[in-house]
């Protein structure tokens, strides 16, 4: 059984409730946040977005990539978290000029204050010729979890509770970024279940007792945390899927993007070594691409 860097389903025996729990640590979160050295409040928000992406992607009944994105004119004009098949996670935040200095002393900042007036967008890309599905809601809420709850209420008409937490754990050779999250949804009533509102209210009260410390605690396993919260209702956790830091960039994809540039602009981008240099914003990997590989292929 996986102990960390996982996402798993759960259900309650005595209430029509289903959900997901995620724990991110040394394999799935810490390398992403360390790679870019963001101000602490930005790292925490990106960590929450990555956890949210992992939770929502695990709800999908078909393969696909789930993208959580916030774009605005604030101190962080772009924040992207992606969760793909096989537990692959990647994330990136772009800071406005001077934002790093402005945010250096901040610990936690509300999404609307950090991102500015904007929207939370969730996109499902299923690949191939299948059209992408996208939902958009305003960035309204004191936390990203509240913004995401609003997304499900408006876009999916589904009662949803979400808890997200990110923090650094000290005690080893170096601090370790960790995150945890729980997503819980109400199963609609039917002739068999009847009205589920009272059961949902009771489960929501129990859900509201979870703390940030419990969500990121490396010594509190996911199944034990669920039991601590919902033992009165009877809780069952299903098989966990692994999560990991894995970027999906490759030279072929970057070459296709460059083929869209005007030829004159491409010539100006050629470095002294005769190559086009392209760096992935997510993983910082640098690609050296021969100009003829772009222009030549496009002309043929």
Q: For residue 143, is it within any domain?
A: yes
- In this model, does residue 234 exceed pLDDT 50? yes
Last residue of a domain, one of 199, 223, 245: 245
In this prediction, residue 192 has a pLDDT band, given cuts at 50, 70 and 90, of low
Structural domains counted in the chain? 2
Report the C-alpha gap between 183 and 160 in whole angstroms.
Answer: 7
Mean pLDDT of all residues in the chain?
87
In a domain, 47, yes or no: yes
Domain boundary, last residue among 208, 225, 245: 245
Rounded percentage of the chain residues whose pLDDT exceeds 90: 48
Q: What does the CA dihedral 78, 85, 29, 248 come to, rounded to 10 degrees?
A: -60
| Last residue within a domain, chosen from 219, 245, 271 | 245
Q: How many CB atoms lie within 10 A of CB 263?
A: 11
Q: Report if residue 1 sits inside a domain.
A: no
CATH number, domain with residue 261:
3.90.1280.10
Structural domain contains residue 182:
yes
Regarding whether 194 and 59 lie in a shared domain, the answer is yes
Q: Are residues 260 and 148 in the same domain?
A: no
**139 within a domain of the structure (yes/no):** yes
Q: Are residues 143 and 104 in the same domain?
A: yes
- Same domain, yes or no: 62 and 176: yes
Max distance between CA atoms of the chain, in angstroms, equals: 72
Q: Which structural domain range is residue 259 located in? A: 251-299
pLDDT of residue 221: 96
Q: Taking the model in full, what pTM does it have?
A: 0.88
| Domain identity same for 226 and 276 | no
Residues 53 and 194 in one domain: yes
| pLDDT higher than 80, residue 263 | no
- Decide which of 67 and 254 is more confident: 67
In this prediction, residue 191 carries a pLDDT of 57
Of 79, 77, 97, 73, give the one whose Cα is nearest residue 33.
79
Residue 84 in any domain: the answer is yes
Shared domain for 17 and 66, answered yes or no, is yes
Q: Is residue 74 part of a domain?
A: yes
Q: 189 and 259: one domain? A: no
Same domain, 239 and 256: no
- Judge if 131 and 229 occupy the same domain: yes
Q: Regarding predicted confidence, which is higher, 224 or 267?
A: 224
Between residues 102 and 210, the one the model is more confident about? 210
In a domain, 17, yes or no: yes
| Alpha-helical regions (H) of 17-82 | 30-36, 40-57
Express each pLDDT in 42-52 by its tens digit: 999 999 999 99
The answer on 111 and 221 residing in a single domain is yes
DSSP letter string, 92-151: EEEPPTTHHHHHTT-S---HHHHH-SEEEEEEEE--TTPPPEEEEEE--SSSHHHHHHHH
Q: Residue 233: which CATH number? A: 3.55.30.10
For the chain, report the end-to-end CA distance as a whole number of angstroms.
52
**Same domain, residue pair 269 and 291:** yes
183-186, long-range: CB < 8 A, 24+ apart = 183/19, 183/20, 183/21, 183/52, 183/55, 183/56, 183/59, 184/17, 184/18, 184/19, 184/160, 185/17, 185/18, 185/19, 185/152, 185/158, 185/159, 185/160, 185/161, 186/16, 186/17, 186/158, 186/159, 186/160
């Amino acid at each position: 059984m996986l102990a960390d860097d996982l996402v798993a389903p759960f259900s309650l025996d005595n209430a029509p409730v289903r959900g997901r729990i995620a724990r991110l640590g040394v394999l799935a979160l810490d390398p992403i946040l360390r790679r870019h050295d963001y101000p602490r409040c930005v790292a925490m928000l990106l960590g929450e977005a990555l956890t949210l992406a992992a939770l929502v992607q695990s709800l999908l009944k078909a393969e696909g990539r789930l993208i959580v994105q916030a774009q605005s004119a604030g101190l962080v004009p772009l924040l992207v978290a992606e969760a793909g098949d096989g537990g692959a996670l990647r994330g990136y935040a772009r800071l406005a000029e001077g934002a790093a200095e402005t945010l250096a002393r901040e610990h936690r900042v509300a999404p609307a204050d950090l991102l500015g007036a904007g929207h939370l967008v969730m996109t499902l890309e299923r690949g191939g010729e299948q059209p992408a599905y996208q939902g958009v809601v305003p960035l309204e809420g004191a936390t990203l979890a509240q913004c995401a709850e609003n997304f499900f209420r408006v876009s999916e008409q589904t009662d949803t509770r979400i808890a997200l937490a990110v923090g650094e754990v000290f005690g080893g050779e170096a601090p370790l970024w960790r995150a945890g999250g729980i997503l819980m949804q109400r199963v609609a009533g039917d002739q068999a279940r009847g009205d589920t509102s009272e059961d949902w209210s009771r489960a929501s009260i129990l859900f509201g007792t979870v703390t940030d410390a419990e969500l990121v605690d490396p010594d509190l396993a996911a199944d034990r945390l669920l039991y601590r919260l919902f033992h009165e209702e009877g809780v069952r956790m299903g098989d966990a899927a692994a999560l990991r830091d894995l970027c999906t960039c490759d030279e072929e994809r970057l070459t296709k993007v460059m083929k869209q540039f005007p030829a004159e602009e491409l010539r100006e981008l050629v470095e002294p070594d005769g190559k086009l240099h392209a760096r992935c914003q997510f993983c910082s990997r640098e690609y050296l691409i021969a100009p003829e590989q772009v222009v030549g292929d496009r002309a043929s």
